[in-house]
Structure 1
């Protein structure tokens, strides 16, 4: 299950195949456009250099907090204060939308800027914390990948962000290492 906050944190891309290539997708206008469109958010594209710097710092802190919580740590007061400060940058208004008997309440951002986006990301992360689901935050066990994901399996044992990509790659690597060890043993 992908969420707003994991999608944002994963803008720190690392090639899962082990090439060593990485990419800061926050600086890419194409990523900014796709991210905002996917999550129905608005902000100026391309983001200004100052915005990028703030977004990178925010991402790093959120990534570290997710790592701490995924390892069973508790959220410190300083972390709560930081999240609250991030969420305070986002103002919303409520509007009654829809037609006829299909009315619903929608929350519309008061601003169309990157601080609003960070507030929404922080609120989405806070929702994960409030629901007590921090034990489901995972970092892909493929050390080349570093992808953050939410383990939505019943028994909470998901190890890889994608079983078809990272999972298969790691299975092949283990198999080859085992065969190599066997060959060395047989020849040794």
Structure 2
């Protein structure tokens, strides 16, 4: 299951992987992100836009971390989300795609407002319509990727098979090193 808000928060992954650029600060990467999620094309890519998006990402990252560690969001963060929601103005538009009808929410204001509104609405829909216990942070300490656990038993620990393999290899090597040390000592 894919959520815009999770992809948005995961854009901070570059922090632990210095060879990558921050997608919210790089015009081309940000354009790709917007195209992927069918977000408004931002004509001017300036400091104000970047600062607001970075602020939103930090806030949502903190909220997701609270969800994953405490299974709740504090009242202060709920109030902050309500501020974001209160500042939104939008209308609903009916569209036909192939043989289905879809109701889209279209923000009335600037392109920046459209991006912020879609991200915050994605987060609110995720925590109100889906099981918050399935929102997880990858157990690989070098990763920290956020994902929605779709496994049947809700036991997934890693964001993907690469992280799972890396962690299993590290665990095996650690166990093997300890075994060698105890045999030689």
TM-score of the two chains, using structure 2 as the length reference: 0.86
Q: Which moved more, 1:48-57 or 1:100-109?
A: 100-109
The aligned length equals: 185
- In structure 2, the partner of 1:136 is 134
**Deviation (angstroms), 1:182:** 1.5
Q: What is the aligned-residue RMSD (CA, Å)? A: 2.5
Question: How many angstroms apart in 2 are the aligned matches of 1:130 and 1:92?
Answer: 20
1 or 2, which has the higher helix percentage? 2
SS in 2 for 1:96: strand
Q: Which moved more, 1:166-175 or 1:45-54?
A: 45-54
Q: Is the 8 A contact 1:43 1:112 kept in 2?
A: no
**Deviation (angstroms), 1:103:** 4.6
Q: How does 1:50-69 map to 2 (within 5 A)?
A: 50-69=48-67
Which blocks of at least 5 consecutive residues in structure 1 are unaligned? Answer: none
Question: How many angstroms apart in 1 are the aligned matches of 2:117 and 2:103?
Answer: 20
- In structure 2, the partner of 1:30 is 28
- In structure 1, the partner of 2:39 is 41
TM-score of the two chains, using structure 1 as the length reference: 0.85
Offset from partner CA, 1:62-102 (integer Å, 9 cap, x none): 11111111223433332222112223444322233338985
Q: Which moved more, 1:99-108 or 1:145-154?
A: 99-108
**Deviation (angstroms), 1:32:** 0.9
Gap change, CA 1:43 and 1:170, over 3 Å in 2: same
